[in-house]
Structure 1
Amino acid sequence: MKTFLKIIGIILFFIVVYGIVAMLAFGKTYHYEKAIVINAPKEKVWQQISSMKAFNEWNPWMKLDPTMKINYTGNSGQVGDKYCWDSKNDDAGAGCQEIKELVTNEKQKTEMTFMRPFEGQATSDIILTTEGNSTKVTWSMDTEQETWMKLMRPMMDYQMGKSYGEGLDNLKKLSEK
């Protein structure tokens, strides 16, 4: 029994130490990005990112709830193009994403507002650069994190990597058709 209690004590000690280190070491801002090279010209890839409806054709979070309610507003493919989602599933939650900047064949910048399961805001950029006959797509997200969310950063990095990887793979398949 003493050995068991020592093991539990050591585990708790490391959890507390990790929590303190995470809160002190990780900054308030969170940045994540992932890139892929697509065997298609920028103009063809641009068609898949230039509007919220096109984005949602490869958006990995859309599959989290097939019954999710989606509402599009604004002019498709222009600044102000926006969609809001509402899901009964907390994995998908509820929120809105709006195009804030478009540079034809080069950049899409959006702002996301999350309402559920956590409230928050983030910005996302999709940057296209030519690489020979191909296009490099860099997808990034920036947000500020509450102190307690810093504890989740390694798990968030893992989940973001998985989701962004799936989304970029979907984009690659669509663009290379």
Structure 2
Amino acid sequence: MLDIILILVAVIILIILALASRQPDTFQVSRSISMAAPPATVFTQINDLQNWQAWSPWAKLDPNAKNSFSGPQAGAGANMSWAGNNKVGEGSMTIVESRPHDLIRFKLDFLKPFKASNTAEFTFTSAGENTVVVWSMSGKNNFIGKLMSLIMNCDKMVGGQFEQGLSAIKAIVEGAG
């Protein structure tokens, strides 16, 4: 009987590993929203990392997280590092490209709960009196990421947080007008 149980456990593990190996090698999560504010206003809110506390969904998950800033306050080279509870983990982000009113690209380095390096970006497009803001994140899916994707939907989880953050930015910039 014990032999049958061990064989079943081994088969289940092999099936899980086979399913994980078939997951995509890369991922991308993207959300967008239209804001009744000019691109310059929205861009300024996001390009200054010290503004993120006001709208970041992760700031709400751990209001006691320790943040530190280095480099310029805004634009290319601006850096924010954080260390928080298990909901926000530990890592840093650096603005690697900043084109006024058009694009902000970040290098994200996560240390905890898992090590990973990803790219995130915000794009800004005029739409009449409004600005359409797209927040996206992409990266490589290592084997641990592929395994985790069998039990967690990264697009729904991170996408939901992007939606919260975009809604909070919208409230700030529309109130600024």
Q: What residue is the counterpart of 1:50 in the other structure?
A: 47
CA distance in 2, matches of 1:31, 1:90: 23
Alignment of 1:1-177 (within 5 A): 20-24=18-22, 26-87=23-84, 89-153=85-149, 154-177=152-175
Identity across aligned pairs (percent)?
A: 27
> Post-superposition shift, 1:60?
0.8
> Post-superposition shift, 1:106?
0.8
Q: What residue is the counterpart of 1:3 in the other structure?
A: none
Q: Which moved more, 1:77-86 or 1:53-62?
A: 53-62
CA distance in 1, matches of 2:83, 2:52: 17
> Post-superposition shift, 1:64?
1.4
> Post-superposition shift, 1:151?
3.4
> Post-superposition shift, 1:155?
1.9
CA distance in 1, matches of 2:34, 2:59: 23
Across the aligned residues of Structure 1 and Structure 2, the Cα RMSD in angstroms comes to 1.9
Unaligned segments of structure 1, at least 5 residues: 1-8
CA distance in 2, matches of 1:147, 1:22: 7
- Conserved 8 A contact 1:112-1:122: yes
Could you list the structure 1 runs, at least 4 aligned residues long, displaced by more than 6 angstroms after superposition. Answer: none
State the one-letter code of the partner of 1:146: N
Unaligned segments of structure 2, at least 5 residues: 1-7
Deviation string 1:21-58 (CA, Å, 9 cap, x unpaired) is: 4421x321111111001111111111211111123321
State the one-letter code of the partner of 1:103: R
- SS of the aligned residue for 1:91 comes to coil
> Post-superposition shift, 1:147?
1.7
Q: What residue is the counterpart of 2:4 in the other structure?
A: none
TM-score by length of 2: 0.85
Q: 1:80 to 1:17 in 2, by over 3 A?
A: same
Q: Which moved more, 1:36-45 or 1:51-60?
A: 51-60
- The count of residues paired between Structure 1 and Structure 2 equals 164
State the one-letter code of the partner of 1:70: N
TM-score by length of 1: 0.85
